[in-house]
Amino acid sequence: MAEQKNYALVTGASSGIGLAFSGELASLGYPLLMVSNEEERLNQAAVELASRFSVKTVPLYMDLARADSAKDLFHFCETNGINVEILINNAGIFFFKDIVDTTPGLLETTLYLHIITSAMLCRLFAEKAIREGIKSYIINISSIAAWMMMPGITLYSSTKSFIRGFSRAMRHETLKRGVSITTICPGAVATGLYKLPEKYLKLGVRLGIILPPERLARLSLKKMYRHKAEFIPGGLLNRLFILLIIALPDWLVRLIKKKIDRKFNKTVAPGETA
């Protein structure tokens, strides 16, 4: 009989990138702990993956944008005997809005979700893996926006920059102790994040501008198993785009922001990442 694998834990697992990671990991035979604040979609996804891949799936409905959510999630694993070998920190939120027009509640939600919860999950699960001698992996989903200090996405880009910097630094502390941390910095992905019409998503995928989430998950797991520090999907094109963004003069940044404000009339609604 084959040895039972330890669990893979995926946050934001009910749709989009998180669901794609869950599917790829299930296809590799990993039992899944799937966490999301979308209860109905989460339960449905867990049932479908369990049936399709004959693996155990545990759906956990939880709001990760709270002060103690990481501790609560870790306690759930400890209480239920769930040993995590792979942690995918994917849950997040995106919106286009000036900071002064952002409610304090939404600002706090973003900071907890992107910074506090992600960092605490890394700390708690890495410490356990090191203590118990479990070879483990962590994938933290940052973004190409980590280099884009652009108005309108101030909170998103700065918190994604934190995720990237934190992950790269912590990796040096844990790699030789058996915990490999890989940072993923995707550009456009074919999910509901940007609220694009379906026809434009499909067009972007055909043109190679937008990456299907399944391909992103598959490539990211390959990089993870190779102990890569960072993966920027899209190769040379996205790297050139990063250099272009960094080189933009301030006057051009403000001009772009002005045109975007006119287009969206400053009413782009917040939406949770997949």
260 to 93, 135, 153, 215, 247: CA distances (angstroms): 20, 46, 11, 30, 19
Does residue 228 lie within any of the structural domains? Answer: yes
Least confident of 7-16, 70-79, 255-264: 255-264
Domain with 261 in it: 7-272
Nearest CA-CA partner of 274 in 9, 32, 25, 41 = 41
3-state secondary structure string, 36-71?
ECCHHHHHHHHHHHHHHHCCCEEEEECCCCCCCHHH
pLDDT value at residue 198: 66
pLDDT value at residue 199: 60
Q: What pLDDT digit, counting tens, does each position of 216-270 carry?
A: 999 999 999 999 999 999 877 777 878 788 888 888 778 877 877 776 554 433 3
pLDDT value at residue 53: 98
- Distance (Å, whole) CA 175 – CA 118: 18
Given a cut of 90, whether residue 41 has pLDDT beyond it is: yes
Query: 162-177 burial by CB neighbour count: b if 16+ within 10 A, else e?
Result: bbbebbeebbeebeee
Q: What pLDDT digit, counting tens, does each position of 93-147 carry?
A: 998 889 999 999 999 999 999 999 999 999 999 999 999 999 999 999 999 999 9
Nearest CA-CA partner of 274 in 104, 34, 48 = 34
pLDDT value at residue 257: 79
Report pTM.
Answer: 0.88
Does residue 43 lie within any of the structural domains? Answer: yes
pLDDT value at residue 16: 93
pLDDT value at residue 237: 75
Q: Are 250 and 203 in contact (CB under 8 A)?
A: no
How long, in residues, is the chain? Answer: 274
Contacts of 57 (CB under 8 A, 6+ apart): 22, 26, 31, 32, 34, 46, 47, 49, 50
Least confident of 126-140, 155-169, 202-216: 202-216
For residue 20, name the pLDDT band (cuts at 50, 70, 90): very high
For residue 9, name the pLDDT band (cuts at 50, 70, 90): very high
Residue 42 identity: L
pLDDT value at residue 39: 97
pLDDT value at residue 211: 86
- Distance (Å, whole) CA 22 – CA 56: 12
Please state the domain count of the chain.
1
The CATH number assigned to the domain holding 52 equals 3.40.50.720
- Distance (Å, whole) CA 48 – CA 4: 21
Given a cut of 50, whether residue 12 has pLDDT beyond it is: yes
Q: Provide the β-strand partners of residue 11.
A: 35
Given a cut of 50, whether residue 271 has pLDDT beyond it is: no
Given a cut of 80, whether residue 2 has pLDDT beyond it is: no
Does residue 1 lie within any of the structural domains? Answer: no
In this prediction, what percent of the chain has a pLDDT beyond 70? 88
Does residue 251 lie within any of the structural domains? Answer: yes
Burial class (CB in 10 A: 0-12, 13-18, 19+), 198: exposed
Given a cut of 80, whether residue 193 has pLDDT beyond it is: no
Average the pLDDT over 183-201 and give the result: 73
Q: Are 179 and 129 in contact (CB under 8 A)?
A: yes
Other CB atoms closer than 10 Å to residue 63's CB: what's the count? 15
Residue the block writes with tokens 């001009």: 255
Given a cut of 60, whether residue 4 has pLDDT beyond it is: yes
Contacts of 253 (CB under 8 A, 6+ apart): 150, 151
Average the pLDDT over 180-187 and give the result: 95
Does residue 2 lie within any of the structural domains? Answer: no
DSSP 138: E
3-state class (DSSP) for residue 139: strand
